[in-house]
Chain A
C-alpha cells in the first residue's frame, strides 16, 4: 500500500517535468539568419505558429536586431515599423515582448523557407543585389582543403579569376 502511494506521489511529481520536457522537445525552434544558426524559445499558445515569433532577447541573439524608438535596428541600419501595423510585428504578454520575424522578413522582402520548426531567412534584396550597382565583387571567406580560411579580399591588389567547379 505504502509502495503504491509512493509510486503515485512520485508520478504526480514527475509527470509535469516529463510533459514539460516533451513539449520543449517538440516545440524547439531553430533559426538560420545571416547563415548563423540559433535555437529560440517557442511562443505562447495564443500566437500563430504560421509565423516565427521570437522574444526580443532571441531577436538580438539570432539576428543582431534590437527594437528602438526609430524602428528595428542593427548598427547604423534601422527599419521603421509601419505605425498602423505595429500589432502585426510586436506583441506584449506580461513582461515579455514578442517580435514577428516572419512579418519583418515580408516587410524587407527577404526570401524565407521553412521545414517544421527550422526557419531559414535569406538575404534582403538590397544586400543580394548590392554588387549590381557598385560592381564590387561580393566578398566571402572559405576554407581550403587544410581548413585554412581565405577571403576574396585577401587578393586585393591582384587580378583574380574566380572560378567555380564541383565534383558532381
Chain B
C-alpha cells in the first residue's frame, strides 16, 4: 500500500523498551516504521485504553478516524471475536479514496467520538507516569502503589493493568492475573465495538 502514499507507524507501548518489545519486532521483520514508547506517551496523548488501538491521520496531520481497536490479522480472534478483514478493507478504501472514502469521518462524526479527558483519567495518567518513573529508577515497591492508583482512577484502561502486571508477579502484588480479569468480564466485550459503516460488497 506504499504506492498510495500510505504509511504504517507502529508504536510499542512497553516500559521494558527494546528488552521486551525487541524480539517481537525482530520476528515480524516489518517494512513499516516501528517506534518504542517506554513512557506510554502515545497512550497519554491520544487517551487510549487498550492495544491494539489505531488512529487514521491524513496528509495534513488531521485525524480521520480516532481511537478504535485495530486487529489487522485474526491471530487472537478466538479470544475477542473481531474479524480483521473488514478493517483491512476499510483501510484499503481510505488509502485509495482519501476523504471521499465512506470510512473517513465527517467533522460532526469526529465531534461525537472525541470527548475531553475525564479528570479522573487525567489523574490516573499522572499516577501511571509517576509509577513508570519509579519503576525505571529501581523503586518497584513504590511503583506498585501508584500503578494501583492509576488502575483505580481509570478502570477502563487495560494498558495500566496489563503493563503493571507484566512488570511484577501479578498474583503476588495485585492479587489477580490477566486471565482472571478477562473471565470477570463475563461476556462483556474486551474491546469497545468498532463502528464501521456497512458497505455493500459488489457481487
The answer, among A113, A115, A137, A150, for a CB contact under 8 Å with B63, is A137
Contact status of A161 and B56, CB under 8 A, knowing A132-B115, A144-B35, A156-B61: yes
A85 within 8 A of B: no
- Interface size on B, as a range, is 35 or more
For the complex, count residues of A whose C-beta is within 8 A of B: 47
- List B contacts of A145 (CB < 8 A): 18, 22, 25, 34, 36
Q: Which of A64-82 contact B (CB under 8 A)?
A: none
- List A contacts of B60 (CB < 8 A): 156
Binds B, one of A20-28, A93-101, A118-126: A118-126
B91 within 8 A of A: yes
Is there contact, CB below 8 Å, between A163 and B70? yes
Is there contact, CB below 8 Å, between A163 and B8? yes
Chain A's nearest CB lies how many Å from the CB of B67?
A: 9
Residues of B within 8 A of A (CB): 4-14, 16, 18, 20-25, 33-37, 39, 41-48, 51-64, 70, 72, 91, 94-95, 98, 107, 110, 114-117, 119, 122-123, 125-127, 129-130, 133-134, 139, 142, 145-146, 149, 159, 162-163, 165-166
Residues of A within 8 A of B (CB): 32, 35, 37, 109, 111-116, 118, 120-123, 125, 128-129, 131-132, 135-140, 142-145, 150, 152-153, 155-168
